[in-house]
Structure 1
Amino acid sequence: MNQILIGKGEHPVHLLGKYGNRHGLIAGATGTGKTVSLLVLAEGFSRLGVPVFMVDVKGDVAGLSMPGSPNGKIEQRLAQLGLEGYAFEASPVLFWDVYGRSGHPVRTTVSEIGPTLLGRMLELNGTQSGVLEIVFRLSDDQGLLLLDLDDLKALLGLIAEQRKEISTQYGLVSSQSLGAIQRAILSFEREGGAAFLGEPALELGDLMRTDLSGRGIISILAAEQLILKPRLYSSLLLWLLSELFENLPEVGDLDKPKLVLFFDEAHLLFDDAPPMLRQRVEQVVRIIRSKGVGIYFCSQFPDDLPGEILGQLGNRIQHGLRAFTPRDQKSVRTAAETFVPNPNIDVTKAISQLAVGEALVSTLQEKGIPMPVEQTLICPPRCRIGAVSAEERALVRARSPLGSKYDQPVNRESAHEILNRRAMERTAAETRMDRDETGKETAQENMVSELLWGSRRRQGMVETMAKQAARTIGSQIGRQILRGVLGGIFGGSRR
């Protein structure tokens, strides 16, 4: 049947596949069994042939890749639920990791993530985000691809060089804002965020795969380190939602979703988010179900999510909450008010008394009507409950068909390379001009030298020739005079 068995209360409790895209919430205090509910739903969707994307915050969701094994507690739970012949098995899994250590790298380009989310990742203020908008506009106008942080830094350098001209054309760009953005980029790189920006960029189709048997592949994003960078974590998830919203076609209501997303620590999506971004998320959550995508948020308290989004979640699994503080007591009341009442259950009281592995569950039934809340024993998952070893993770990753596609980064020509080439061409042109100028100066110096020193050499030659001529002429005249004198003497004696 096209449904997932969640557990059993007075009756078996199922989630119907055709309402899997109506979103859901898994809430409860730490240690009350939220992860087990996540595993049950994820492998349930996979068995229906629905691809799943999950965030693994603590490392224990990776157990989906390994078959479970019976133990006393699980056997007792199976007996309580009346489940016989319960087969333990692994689910088809792909591991992903922004840093590329625990799975295939998850990347997108600077252009695809856009100035709004990038500004959030870099923790920029309003003025600095405005400068970032100018960077993207300049990139479009000049045909400079923005793929990675090197491209972004190169464009910031170009703006710094031509700040006055660009300020006139696009709006004021202050050197202080440029410096703040450059420092934010350095900090972002130091935290390892540069690995997220580049190519090859993640293709959504690779998150929507099934294996040869028709089971949906579960993509698990390793987030033990990523969760320590809340801005990067939330920006990645918001980018993924936006990409799905913009690229998937409208399909209406299907027998089962095309893709289901599970977001752990969901409150991080909304903490410190600017109003415009928050409205965008609310819009995406409200409309994306018509594209065949279901979103399941996981958090400690229901009121971690904005009321507008909480009202869109049709499938609810509420684990225990301990009402020790005024905040806890308010959260218990909020959780109780979100369920369809069951006359046999005091919901407010039950939430505080639920044992580990128990939950209050309400799912959409026929005609999309939510069922009255049911106190439910959650089924054990068929997979391992717990983490996997490094060797087991490496084995799963080695079997992946996507390693050759994503594991090696690609650095094609973009803004950084183009601007560097232009700079080198300018330098070469300036060198040629300098060489030509030097040649001209040398020729001019030779001409001047020729004019100055060449005339003196010619004058010297003329003077030498003149002296020689004078000496020659003088000697000829002297000989003529001598011959005349002698001739007169001797001639006179002969007479």
Structure 2
Amino acid sequence: MTTDGTIFVGGGGEGYAAPQNLLLKFGNRHGLIAGATGTGKTVTLQVLAEGFSAAGVPVFLSDVKGDLSGLCQAGSETHKLHEGFLKRAATIGLDLSYRAFPVLFWDLFGEKGHPIRTTVAEMGPLLLSRLLELSDPQEGVLNVAFRLADEEGLPLLDLKDLQALLTFVAQNGDAISARYGLVSKESVGAIQRRLLVLENEGGAKLFGEPALDLADLMLTDAQGSGRISILASDRLMNSPRLYATFLLWLLSELFETLPEVGDPEKPRLVFFFDEAHLLFDGAPRALVAKVEQVARLIRSKGVGVYFITQNPADVPENILGQLGNRVQHALRAFTAKDQKDLRLAAQTYRPNPRFQIEDAIRDVGTGEAVTSFLELKGIPGIAERTLVRPPSSRLGPCDDAARGQVIAGSPVAGKYDTVIDRDSAYEMLARKAEERARAAEAEEAQASKGSTGGGLSLDLDEFKRARRYDGKGYDTPKPRSTSSRSDSITETFAKSFARQLGTKSGQAIVRGVLGTLFGRR
């Protein structure tokens, strides 16, 4: 599987290449696994993950179909494909043995693995805008909100923090616009509606604390094998933009956090990005430029990125040119566009005088591929027609009992299970509102000299009812006697403030809050 600084991928046999190996020292030069559905991409991914793990390299991969969870169990001689595996192993000169690999299961929803979270602040306005599908003006408003949070010390941890901040921005749009540029209530309302859609898709579970510690993705076991972090993505794929944005965030965090290591003898981490076309479909230019930057520079951090997709054309050319290790499974050419894509794919390989690459890519069967791995001095290898080796771990998903045992015995068991709801933007804005309300009441009482009436206060009950997230889950807002529906945070703040703006106490609240934000007393 792994010898002399290489990972054995396949080859051998009549009409096929000599053994094909991926050099570990070039494992951080990135790679591509491409091919039509059912041609063997998942098995190739499994074989590479096994090889890196056996060499002591931690791996992160997404399991979009549930098939890769079998990495935690050894293959079996009773498996229906065992005889076929033995035959292929003999053909390519492999001494096949079965073994399990150290696995960490992760799940954004916390159902099939450890919960995995980040904070709103760490995600940042660029990726959030992509996630929410915001227009340019709406993205501008979101940038203003983040800038305001930074300058005023308002931590943005979960969605309720962002919702409360946007509500405040809408209420004080005129003053904020004078400082940062136009901020319209319509744009804020559109962002709030997109946040509601994200909540309904379960995306709010992504935000909060404890946030993921990147060090937990770079662990080895007691025997020195790299742990394989598997993100359960079968349910997550129902929200493809959430899936792609999360993986891009994780890749960006690795890029920004890890120190430079140059060209190590083996990667520090290998990252497999399945269904990679989702990352680029409809992506704005700024986002594609960010991916290009990460792909170009993250190798110096010791991280290898491998894109898995059906067609190499799914990956922009500037990024495709960074992918030195390639495994191309069969491409079908049923239409004129398919034939064009096939020709373009063949042209990206170093020619082999023994066969036509275009014909080989079209004709290889399941479990076969045209491969090209970087050779000494980083030179692309000649394209070879290769039989991919059988995996050592279980082919297919593990059973629930095995998954439960792996989760219970994990080195991070219990670390991320309980949500922490610490003091952040929502609580800080609530306290400011309460303080201004009390000050307004005192001023009103002083002005009226004990007369009855007019003792207005900020409706904090409305604010609390509007808080949809309590750190444990989402609560349905309690029905109000004055309305047949629940108010959103924006509506609650707006109605509460609107009732007070025409009074002296209301004016005192606005002066007080804006004075705090903009340094006036």
TM-score range, shorter chain: 0.7 to 0.9
Alignment match, 2:115: 105
The aligned runs of 1:138-153 (5 Å cut-off) are 138-153=148-163
Shift of 1:178: 1.1
Once the two structures are TM-superposed, the CA of residue 182 in structure 1 deviates from its matched residue by 0.8
Larger mean Cα displacement after TM superposition, 297-306 or 330-339: 330-339
Q: Which residue of 1 aligns with 2:385?
A: 375
Aligned partner of 1:12 among 13, 16, 19: 19
| 1:297 shift after superposition | 0.5
Q: How does 1:449-468 map to 2 (within 5 A)?
A: none
Q: Does residue 1:255 correspond to 2:255, yes or no?
A: no
1:343 to 341, 353, 357: 353
| Distance (Å, rounded) in 1 between the aligned partners of 2:321 and 2:410 | 38
Which residue of 84, 89, 93 corresponds with 1:78?
89
1:405-437 deviation digits (Å, cap 9, x = unpaired): 111111110000111122222333344445556
Distance in structure 1 (CA, Å) of the matches to 2:65 and 2:389: 21
Output aligned runs, 1:116-131, within 5 Å: 116-131=126-141
Query: Could you tell me whether the CA contact under 8 Å between 2:74 and 2:392 is conserved in 1?
Result: yes
SS state at 2:110 partner: coil
Q: Give SS of 2:263's match.
A: coil
Q: Does 1:29 align with 2:40?
A: no
**Aligned counterparts, 1:92-241, within 5 A:** 92-241=102-251
Deviation of 1:82 (Å)? 2.5
Larger mean Cα displacement after TM superposition, 343-352 or 13-22: 343-352
Tell me whether 1:291 sits opposite 2:301 in the alignment: yes
Shift of 1:441: 3.6
Q: Distance in 1 between matches of 2:281 and 2:116?
A: 23
**Which structure has the bigger radius of gyration?**
1
Cα offset, 1:73, TM superposition: 1.4
Given candidates 410, 415, 422, the residue that maps to 2:420 is 410
Aligned-pair RMSD on alpha carbons? 1.3
Equivalent-residue separation in structure 1 for 2:126 and 2:263 (angstroms) = 32
Distance 2:276 2:415 in 1: 30
Name the amino acid aligned to 1:393: R
The answer to whether structure 1 residue 2 and structure 2 residue 18 are counterparts is: no
What residue is the counterpart of 2:318 in the other structure? Answer: 308
Per-residue displacement from partner, 1:138-175 (whole Å, max 9, x unpaired)?
Answer: 10111101111100011111112211111111111111
1:73, 1:419 → 2: CA distance?
A: 65
Counterpart amino acid of residue 412 in structure 1? R
Number of the residue aligned with 1:40 = 47
Equivalent residues of 2:445, 2:451 under 8 A apart: no
Letter matched to residue 181 of structure 1: I
Normalising by the residue count of structure 2, what TM-score does the alignment of the two structures yield? Answer: 0.83
Q: TM-score, normalised by structure 1?
A: 0.87
Structure-2 separation of matches of 1:355 and 1:298: 18
Q: Which residue of 2 aligns with 1:51?
A: 58
Q: 1:352 aligns with which of 362, 366, 385?
A: 362
User: Which stretch of the first structure deviates more once superposed, 386-395 or 153-162?
Assistant: 386-395
After alignment, is 54-63 or 425-434 more displaced?
425-434
Whole-angstrom CA distance in 2 between matches of 1:306 and 1:433: 63
SS in 2 for 1:215: coil
CA distance in 1, matches of 2:244, 2:268: 23
Task: Tell me the amino acid that sits aligned with residue 275 of structure 1.
Answer: R
3-state DSSP of counterpart to 1:440: coil
Shift in Å, 1:226: 1.3
Distance 1:318 1:164 in 2: 56
Partners of 1:162 and 1:314 lie apart in 2 by 52
Aligned partner of 1:440 among 439, 450, 453: 450
Of 209-218 and 226-235, the range deviating more from structure 2 = 226-235
Deviation at 1:239, TM superposition (A): 0.9
2:72 corresponds to which residue? 65
> Which stretch shows the higher mean deviation, 244-253 or 427-436?
427-436
- Aligned amino acid, residue 59 of structure 1: G
Partner SS, residue 18 of structure 1: helix
The partner residue of 2:343 within 319, 333, 338 is 333
Counterpart CA distance in 2 for 1:326 and 1:223 is 33
Which has the larger displacement, 20-29 or 70-79?
Answer: 70-79
Which region of structure 1 is more displaced relative to structure 2, 389-398 or 377-386?
389-398
Deviation at 1:131, TM superposition (A): 0.3
Distance in 1, Cα, partners of 2:36 & 2:172: 55
**Equivalence for 1:452:** none
Which structure carries more helix by proportion?
1
- Residue 323 (structure 1) aligns with: 333
1:339, distance to aligned residue in structure 2 (A): 1.0
Q: How far apart are the structure 2 equivalents of 1:300 and 1:440?
A: 76
Q: Name the CA distance, whole Å, in 2 between partners of 1:176 and 1:342.
A: 60
**Pairing partner for 2:407 from 397, 408, 428:** 397
Give the counterpart letter for 1:288 in structure 2: I
